Amino acid sequence: MTQPLSADQPIPFMPGPKPSTKDYQGLDDWRSLSADQQPDWAQHPEFERVMGELNTVPPLVFAGEVDTLKRRLAEVAEGRAFLLQGGDCAETFEGATADRISARVKTLLQMAAVLTYGASMPVVKMGRMAGQFSKPRSSNDETRGDVTLPSFRGEMVNGFDFTAESRAHNPERMLRGYHTSASTLNLIRAFTGGGFADLRHVHSWNMGFASNPAHARYEKLAKEIDRAVKFMAACGADFDALSTTELFTGHEALVLDYERALTRIDSRTHRPYGTSGHFLWIGERTRGIDDAHVDLLSRLQNPIGVKLGPKTTGEDALRLIDKLDPNREPGRLTFITRMGAKSIREALPPVVQAVQDSGAKVVWVTDPMHGNTVSTPSGFKTRNFDDVIDEINGFFEVHRAIGSHPGGIHVEMTGDDVAECLGGADAIEEAHFADRYESLCDPRLNHMQSLEVAFLVSSYLSGEQS
């Protein structure tokens, strides 16, 4: 294991006095706790060198940005905004190209335009990007024929190719993950701050799948937005606010060596921030209340998410609130429910009711993907689009019945024309998988299916569907 930073090590975060030993107090307590889903690389000859470098690299995000996101999520918790989070199941190094990043950003912008215009509600946009390079696995090993090798855990840990060399856990991959995240964030900031996201260019985000019903519907909405913008321009409105947008990033904080190494002390407050991403979440497999992931993230100032599966109880949720949000700070804690279409209507109500009765203000988000994964006879992991829609429906039904705010949606999606999830208006069939299945891990909604989801959610938020 790596040694904690000492007070005299350089912390390239913000100008100000150097952090003291007291500022780091407790940040390494997780090392003595149960830590599931961790790479086996501590004995690698490059481990100490890699950790030393990660301890001193510049942060990927800054404390001020993280604080802004927390304020935006507080609006969601209060029922005045909606969170849209989407991106790859597991990012790849080779997939971090300008074209693919821009396609994902375009899709998120389109979805946000649909939600904002249809629901007349601000939408907090967050990419599952610039850090989603590791994945929890149900088994440590994978067997093909008579060969057994370590499971693929995302490109920050090991490679996808089924060879001993590729599947070995290599800490040097963390450095590539860091640098790939940095280049992705640079491009995202250029897109969102340089006019690419200007709402007056809403037509330019459409990516040419005009024959698809979702795109035809989007084009109609884009014309309505154009008319509204032209009307406001004729009235002398100032459009500076439309020229840029906020797009935050988040990922599962799975690899604790990486997350701890990118923890920095903010010189304004002398509090620790995770600077690998604006928003960090804990997975269903690693949310043990006394385990390492919960302990480390409880000490960071970032807004934190927790995935909740169908076996979650109200007591589980309340214990997580006490540990991760003891001051009951709106925007601090997000519960991302991933219960499956068949379970959500029974499993979710007692959890929401317990939180509601406690008075805690959390953000409720649906992840309609992870509880609905199935395998085809040909061996592909997939999801049925109808199941994804059904879980979204169940999520809104439960929250409306209880009187809580259905605050957001978290989807695995891409801006590309892949075929990984079955169904949709322009139906994907299993026969399409052979040529258009690209994910190295879990199946994603393609661009068109993502837009369909946005229109459905917009109808719920606007009250058109109940």
Per-residue buried b or exposed e for 270-289, using 16+ beta carbons within 10 Å of the residue's own CB: eebbbbbbbbbbbbbbbbee
Tell me, yes or no, whether 215 lies in a domain.
no
- Ligand-binding site membership of 370 (annotated): yes
The closest alpha carbon to 172, from 276, 61, 56, 44, belongs to 44
Local structure of 242: helix, strand or coil: helix
Q: How many residues does the chain have?
A: 466
Local structure of 149: helix, strand or coil: strand
Full domain range(s) for residue 117: 29-137+145-197+244-462
Tell me, yes or no, whether 269 lies in a domain.
yes
Q: What is the pLDDT along the chain (466 residues), one digit of tens a residue?
A: 333 333 333 334 444 567 777 777 899 999 999 999 999 999 999 999 999 999 999 999 999 999 999 999 999 999 999 999 999 999 999 999 999 999 999 999 989 989 998 888 999 999 999 999 999 999 999 999 999 999 999 999 999 999 999 999 999 999 999 999 999 999 999 988 887 887 777 877 776 555 567 778 888 888 888 888 777 777 877 666 666 789 999 999 999 999 999 999 998 899 999 999 999 999 999 999 999 999 999 999 999 999 999 999 999 999 999 999 999 999 999 999 999 999 999 999 999 999 999 999 999 999 999 999 999 988 899 999 999 999 999 999 999 999 999 999 999 999 988 999 999 988 999 999 999 999 988 999 999 999 999 999 999 998 877 6
- Ligand-binding site membership of 128 (annotated): yes
- Determine contact, residues 275/59, Cβ cutoff 8 Å: yes
Tell me, yes or no, whether 267 lies in a domain.
yes
- Ligand-binding site membership of 264 (annotated): no
Tell me, yes or no, whether 233 lies in a domain.
no
Tell me, yes or no, whether 214 lies in a domain.
no
- Determine contact, residues 12/56, Cβ cutoff 8 Å: yes
Task: Give the chain's domain count.
Answer: 1
- Ligand-binding site membership of 219 (annotated): no
Per-residue buried b or exposed e for 316-338, using 16+ beta carbons within 10 Å of the residue's own CB: bbbebbebbbeeeebbbbbbbbb
Q: What CATH number is associated with residue 46?
A: 3.20.20.70
Q: What's the first-to-final CA gap in the chain, in angstroms?
A: 52
- Ligand-binding site membership of 399 (annotated): no
Q: For the whole prediction, is pTM greater than 0.85?
A: yes
Tell me, yes or no, whether 295 lies in a domain.
yes
Tell me, yes or no, whether 391 lies in a domain.
yes
- Ligand-binding site membership of 307 (annotated): yes
Tell me, yes or no, whether 22 lies in a domain.
no
Element (H, E) at 464: none
- Ligand-binding site membership of 179 (annotated): no
- Ligand-binding site membership of 284 (annotated): yes
DSSP 201: G
In the block, residue with structure tokens 């849209």:
84
Element (H, E) at 74: helix 63-77
